[in-house]
Structure 1
């Protein structure tokens, strides 16, 4: 049987644009969407269809615009980065030999629908390549939908029912009820796919639903009745037209021979190295050396590492999974795992909190496509008998304790917690795919398994909600049917192994990134797990006292604000604040929201605080309210009932510079510049007979600046051990050290720190309360005294423009997507990041190295001292009172020795019964 492939070109271009990172070629031209479409087209050609077409929308209005003038009216204009890729896409499509179809007055969907039905009627097997759900209405014998990006396929009535809950002939009615926000087709308010499918299951068709609208109760019934009048129009708008007048039928859509020379030029221009290799290999019967992925040759822009242009079929094929229910199966798998050099594992639990989660099952994989799920606590009615959890875990203890067996995970710190709490200590945790992805491209916002599988494997994973539901209908994993649990959980271990096989070679090609991953990020995983497990004690009574005090002061601030306003108003309402400040009091609007409205955020209120007392009172109220709601009211609620301690979670794959973040609760953002903020730390206490010890780096980012810039003046100031801000003031203002005034030191400090964050003369003027010209003079004086700093900053900007990234002292890399493109503001932001990232990133690397070294030393001293917190440049310990001096000496030497810089690393330490006393 002959085969016809119809490609929904517009759909794939948009999907590739949003699914892939913002890649660029050596000339800075955007290539991300183009990259995805080209790979899809190459995959289509490998299937050798008899007929094919690449179908796109024609410009101008269609018949749907005549039916409904607001059709697609809310669609934003095409992004410039995407628009720039349309013409190259068409050039490549034509050079590959695909016919390109566009018909005036209709959409690409209608052209595809017409050709699909014609082809099926002629006995041709039709495949529609798309990610658009609307095409499900065309599925029937001889017509299938394939989502090339995810690999999913709809090729029968049953597959459509499984995905949408209705038959193919009911899809149009389903879409009419739901509406389509993308196309500005308003459906029944609050009617989602499940509700629409339920109605169609009961009443058969849209007309049946309309006829029974009076029978449907509640708010959703009211919504349906309100929408009845427009539903027939909706049906017309979402129905794919299948009788478009075309110049020829499916048999005219024959692929032409490839234009090899044009393709070679286009692939080379846009940096599609694997496609170029394939092209040249096919053209001359050989091949060319593969270029380094993600890096353009020459002096142009370097994109962040991109998904591979060719994916190993072994890493993207469906998996075969086994459920371990019998003792013999368990023994066989343990033997298999013991014989493997490495294996991936994953845990399934009943909670996202690793300190309280109960183990429901474990999964394992030793080769791509092969995995098993070991259910241990599925308790739903009728669940099959499972192996005894205690005995099974005991049998697994030697396997996980063997440090010669390399273990792989995805965000494995969670699993280490869970297994430790169930009696299994994991040795040999060697690789974590979340961290491999993060080190390769820290600027990417998503390092979760689903995103990584899509990005690097072209594989669409089973989502948690598909097996456990979501929202109010979600069930705990212990209630998930074991067959479904196996499909989901075994895939987790399998995909983890596949991702490692895809990512590890990419890391190995970048020695600097490999060093960061192997020597900093991976050794830190068990360290953070221990810190989190240690937790910190909280004095709940102290927090309650602080909450009472903050509440009283908030009330006083409210009363003061009412007096100043001359009437009552809601201090928490931006709308009421705008009316009061800018309409009644006529204060100037200094800051606006993105929509152009007056802003009442902190910056806006600070800007007018010198013109009226009220903005300052509002700021005071907000500060007190935030402390109470975020800390004094909430911290005691986060105490773990089993341990009596607070256990925060640290995130390695958060900030692009490598700095750790924490959550649940977030202990990184407790303010320390105000007395109220510092009071919060008094609630973090040591138990009887113990002390808290706080050790933090002194001015570490300035010291890194001195190291990187090699400025003689900065190096001299740090080597002498004098107050760096006084020394800077003395240099800038030409005074002796002892003559420096407080205001001069303050100005020098603002310059020292401001320059690292790209502060302008305008920003410095605002901070110091001086004229902009005077601030500019300060900066000019600074650079005249520290020319090495100026040269370093310019050198770094230039290197960033040439390379597309900057690096820390240890090789961590931050890609700068807008350093050579985008708006002036985006380029300026990228330049500021280029200056700051090496310093902030190096500081993050240094404290991580210190934590690893200290953790190794603490291991030999049992519970005498525990590392319990990391906050930016500070480490906090809980220790026996008689061990304090030993701890101070050992921790100080390891923090100071965590890096060899041109200036000494200085550590300040303190001891107390609570964190405030120790800091």
Structure 2
């Protein structure tokens, strides 16, 4: 896929200046910030993007200064030692061939945001290289954030949620509530990221938080109400503009040929010896880690730290010998080799990334490193050579795939299992997956796709999809790739998979606990997830149409109300008509402006004037209904597979470092449930006639894991007694009898229980509860005096993390913590919080995975009567015949409860209904 990298130059310059030591060259010129930026630029070039730009803030005021004259007013002047590095940085950027952009009147963020959305709309894979959290609002399919200095990556709603506690579309509201001290944007006093995220989790949007402000208690509620007048302006200030008028789009941002003479002079002057050596010796070939049609290369995330060492065996980094199988004699010889082999690496080539729709184009196999074959089965370009019949080949190979005694291995093999199943071939004995071997060895490590693994562990540069199929608008399907080129590409897949396995297998064997996670949890889960995905879930299109109709009716009512208020008809979706009506005719103040100076009619602008006229509020209501309809009730029916009549999500094992599963296409784990309209969406997930949906959900699993790990007698007793744990904690902390605990005391205890588990400080607890820091510290002190085992566990865990660099789940999964003993104080504090939380969250992930494997094994004899169809957070959802539901309600929760032997009971709550909302 064509790639665009947008570099936030201002962010990196300041970040490098403050993060790196005060380096200087032989002449005493400062070079620390310059060194950091140059390394980042070199890393970007190694990715070989088709388009790239280095974006800086222009001098002079921006539209935000016009909106808020105090914007960034408290920023100190740029230090002289940093200012001295700006000009050489620009010279190096230009010498490297990067287009350099500075646009008057807006910030670099706005230029990047505009280009990012333009690129994604054109099907370009956009990476924003930045350390600025504000860009998280732009994350969506096709747009990822990468912090080259820290290695962090945000490329999905799940990763944004994991980092900030909110979805990408809520980031602006989060920032508006928190404010930004660096930019002199005051937020709600004492409202930090956790409080803001909590409010948004409960109410959904800033508008809803504002609407419920009167119901938020304590000092923090007072602070919120005091800040209400400025929150709409905050939102405007922190919103990245995506409609900046530019001279050209992404297609104009091609890299120029680098000026090696200028670079040599600059590198030598500033003492960048490694860069100079690379320049004189030639830059190494880079890899682009992508999964393309025809190549299931897996998924990955960017590194934190880990125990990986590249392999030095030269035989693993040389090109292989590959054969194309197009005759019966060659097929017979291949089958004979496969029958003799104990271990077979294989890969499928297809014409789509969607395994539920992909057509099989070819298969590749390897049983010996350095040698592999490709079986073209459905190439269809003019003049294509004769190929073996696909049906005949699959019938010939089916017994080998079905032989459980022959170990099969792949890279992200769940995709291949789907493809083969849809073509009538069941795979048994799928024993190893190089993506999962890498993931278990270090879940926070670099990308786990084949290209990255081959480079890291083998020192091998794989053939890229673009090299055989082209790129951009001219890219062809794999079925149209010339068979000779396809062989070079596809046979390499099987060969490299086998080579990687030969390297990764001994690494796992050397770590028995990790090997146990891999063998007992991750690998058995692969076919289970494949079955869950293939089962899919039925959608009630009529219900969604009714919901859409209801939303449309309410939208129409809002339109009619708006017409009455305006005294004439107008198009609520037309910013131009709204501008004329609101500001020219009704003379409402144009509080916010667009970058071009026109009165803004976006959500923030309407909120800012909603107290002056009823019409802006009606327009906002109309927009909210329209968004819910377009995002859910109209879109979900479009995702129904026409062959199965169901929605089939995709689950990802190698995503979150803690081991949590995520899902995409569609993401069923983020369906809104906080509002009545949102909960109605689940009502559209239904059981077919004669069947029911059964939902089984672990109760307070992470707190139970805390009780187990801490071995605290008080917590253990409370769970063993089946007590309301938050009420029991309140009784201990506040010195009450259980029956005398008030609702507010229980809420405070709940905040303590979950807050301490996530490493919350007294300051954070004070902000969340709206109390003084001293009072919060007293609560925590009392809590630890009542539950001393928790305090001891937390200290033991921190110490283990410092000593070993990682923490472990109950089952031995590791999370490496790069900054536990280094970095800034904030980074170390964050690593300590992760050290406390990861064993709970990771163990919960391990438990539900083990439960899925166990329940799936039991369901093997009952697949006609019951199916596992969804995994969402700590919940499993089943579809079952009505008369089989009692059996399912006995067996599934029992197996879920037995998925781990903790010192406290694992309680599973169950429900039954005709739809997911009823069952949940």
Give me the TM-score of the superposition, normalised by structure 2.
0.64
Kept in 1: contact 2:306–2:445 (CA 8 A):
no
Aligned to 1:79: 36
CA distance, structure 1, for counterparts of residue 619 and residue 904 of structure 2: 44
Deviations 1:797-838 (A, max 9, x none): 121111111100000000011111122222121111111110
Residue 853 of structure 2 corresponds to residue 852 of structure 1: yes
Kept in 2: contact 1:537–1:646 (CA 8 A):
yes
Deviations 1:489-519 (A, max 9, x none): 0000001001101111111111111000000
Deviations 1:161-183 (A, max 9, x none): xxxxxxxxxxxxxxx9x986655
Q: 1:739-778 maps to which residues of 2 (within 5 A)?
A: 739-778=740-779
Deviations 1:728-761 (A, max 9, x none): 1111111111111111111111221122222333
Aligned to 2:211: none
CA distance, structure 2, for counterparts of residue 798 and residue 384 of structure 1: 64
Deviations 1:297-355 (A, max 9, x none): xxxxx9512233x4212211111100000000001011101111101000001111111
Aligned to 1:361: 362
- Residue 912 of structure 2 aligns to a residue whose secondary structure is strand
TM-superposed deviation, 1:537: 0.2
Kept in 2: contact 1:179–1:186 (CA 8 A):
no
- Residue 671 of structure 1 aligns to a residue whose secondary structure is coil
CA distance, structure 2, for counterparts of residue 530 and residue 421 of structure 1: 12
Deviations 1:112-170 (A, max 9, x none): xxxxxxxxxxxxxxxxxx97999xxxxxxxxxxxxxxxxxxxxxxxxxxxxxxxxxxxx
Higher relative contact order (CA 8 A, sep 6+): 2
- Residue 794 of structure 1 aligns to a residue whose secondary structure is helix
- Residue 866 of structure 1 aligns to a residue whose secondary structure is strand
Deviations 1:410-443 (A, max 9, x none): 0000000000111110011000000001101111
User: Which range moves more in the overlay, 358-367 or 674-683?
Assistant: 674-683
CA distance, structure 2, for counterparts of residue 625 and residue 772 of structure 1: 43
Aligned to 1:306: 308
Kept in 2: contact 1:558–1:571 (CA 8 A):
no
From the superposition, tell whether residues 747 and 571 of structure 1 become closer, same or farther in structure 2 (CA, over 3 Å): farther
Aligned to 1:712: 713
Aligned to 1:904: 905
CA distance, structure 1, for counterparts of residue 101 and residue 315 of structure 2: 44
TM-superposed deviation, 1:184: 5.4
Residue 645 of structure 2 corresponds to residue 644 of structure 1: yes
CA distance, structure 1, for counterparts of residue 453 and residue 792 of structure 2: 39
CA distance, structure 1, for counterparts of residue 726 and residue 773 of structure 2: 21
Aligned to 2:703: 702
Q: 1:450-599 maps to which residues of 2 (within 5 A)?
A: 450-551=451-552
From the superposition, tell whether residues 605 and 410 of structure 1 become closer, same or farther in structure 2 (CA, over 3 Å): farther
CA distance, structure 1, for counterparts of residue 868 and residue 548 of structure 2: 28
Aligned to 1:389: 390
Residue 857 of structure 2 corresponds to residue 867 of structure 1: no
Residue 436 of structure 2 corresponds to residue 435 of structure 1: yes
From the superposition, tell whether residues 337 and 619 of structure 1 become closer, same or farther in structure 2 (CA, over 3 Å): farther
Aligned to 1:238: 259
CA distance, structure 2, for counterparts of residue 823 and residue 698 of structure 1: 37
From the superposition, tell whether residues 607 and 910 of structure 1 become closer, same or farther in structure 2 (CA, over 3 Å): farther
From the superposition, tell whether residues 611 and 908 of structure 1 become closer, same or farther in structure 2 (CA, over 3 Å): farther
TM-superposed deviation, 1:630: 3.3
TM-superposed deviation, 1:629: 3.8
TM-superposed deviation, 1:887: 0.7
TM-superposed deviation, 1:540: 1.1
User: Which range moves more in the overlay, 681-690 or 784-793?
Assistant: 784-793
Residue 371 of structure 2 corresponds to residue 350 of structure 1: no
- Residue 850 of structure 1 aligns to a residue whose secondary structure is helix
CA distance, structure 1, for counterparts of residue 603 and residue 313 of structure 2: 51
CA distance, structure 1, for counterparts of residue 383 and residue 893 of structure 2: 59
From the superposition, tell whether residues 792 and 495 of structure 1 become closer, same or farther in structure 2 (CA, over 3 Å): same
- Residue 365 of structure 1 aligns to a residue whose secondary structure is strand
Give me the TM-score of the superposition, normalised by structure 1.
0.64
From the superposition, tell whether residues 685 and 186 of structure 1 become closer, same or farther in structure 2 (CA, over 3 Å): closer
Deviations 1:610-652 (A, max 9, x none): 9999999999888756543432222111100000000000000
TM-superposed deviation, 1:794: 1.9
From the superposition, tell whether residues 425 and 561 of structure 1 become closer, same or farther in structure 2 (CA, over 3 Å): same
CA distance, structure 2, for counterparts of residue 623 and residue 761 of structure 1: 37
Residue 756 of structure 2 corresponds to residue 735 of structure 1: no
Deviations 1:244-280 (A, max 9, x none): 9xxxxxxxxxxxxxxxxxxxxxxxxxxxxxxxxxxxx
TM-superposed deviation, 1:560: 10
CA distance, structure 2, for counterparts of residue 873 and residue 375 of structure 1: 43
CA distance, structure 1, for counterparts of residue 608 and residue 430 of structure 2: 52
Q: Number of paired residues?
A: 654
From the superposition, tell whether residues 377 and 546 of structure 1 become closer, same or farther in structure 2 (CA, over 3 Å): same
Deviations 1:14-40 (A, max 9, x none): xxxxxxxxxxxxxxx99xxxxxxxxxx
Aligned to 1:408: 409
TM-superposed deviation, 1:242: 13
TM-superposed deviation, 1:482: 0.2
CA distance, structure 2, for counterparts of residue 787 and residue 243 of structure 1: 61
User: Which range moves more in the overlay, 468-477 or 549-558?
Assistant: 549-558
CA distance, structure 2, for counterparts of residue 514 and residue 180 of structure 1: 48
Residue 708 of structure 2 corresponds to residue 676 of structure 1: no
CA distance, structure 2, for counterparts of residue 814 and residue 627 of structure 1: 37
CA distance, structure 1, for counterparts of residue 633 and residue 893 of structure 2: 32
Kept in 1: contact 2:555–2:622 (CA 8 A):
yes
Deviations 1:770-812 (A, max 9, x none): 4444333333332222121122112211211111111000000
Aligned to 2:159: none
- Residue 703 of structure 2 aligns to a residue whose secondary structure is helix
Aligned to 1:283: none
Aligned to 1:811: 812
Aligned to 1:913: 914
CA distance, structure 1, for counterparts of residue 496 and residue 36 of structure 2: 33
RMSD (Å), alpha carbons: 4.5
Deviations 1:593-612 (A, max 9, x none): xxxxxxx999x999999999
CA distance, structure 2, for counterparts of residue 777 and residue 560 of structure 1: 53
Aligned to 1:329: 330
Where does the alignment leave 5 or more consecutive residues of structure 1 unmatched?
Answer: 1-28, 31-55, 62-72, 84-129, 135-175, 193-221, 245-301, 588-599
CA distance, structure 1, for counterparts of residue 823 and residue 449 of structure 2: 28
CA distance, structure 1, for counterparts of residue 560 and residue 442 of structure 2: 51
CA distance, structure 1, for counterparts of residue 874 and residue 329 of structure 2: 52
Q: 1:88-127 maps to which residues of 2 (within 5 A)?
A: none
CA distance, structure 1, for counterparts of residue 855 and residue 766 of structure 2: 42
Kept in 2: contact 1:562–1:568 (CA 8 A):
no
Kept in 2: contact 1:729–1:744 (CA 8 A):
yes
TM-superposed deviation, 1:705: 0.4
From the superposition, tell whether residues 393 and 568 of structure 1 become closer, same or farther in structure 2 (CA, over 3 Å): closer
TM-superposed deviation, 1:564: 13
User: Which range moves more in the overlay, 311-320 or 767-776?
Assistant: 767-776
From the superposition, tell whether residues 503 and 564 of structure 1 become closer, same or farther in structure 2 (CA, over 3 Å): farther
- Answer with 1 or 2: which has the greater Rg: 1
From the superposition, tell whether residues 832 and 547 of structure 1 become closer, same or farther in structure 2 (CA, over 3 Å): farther
Kept in 2: contact 1:507–1:514 (CA 8 A):
yes
CA distance, structure 2, for counterparts of residue 617 and residue 756 of structure 1: 42
From the superposition, tell whether residues 394 and 839 of structure 1 become closer, same or farther in structure 2 (CA, over 3 Å): same
CA distance, structure 1, for counterparts of residue 448 and residue 860 of structure 2: 31
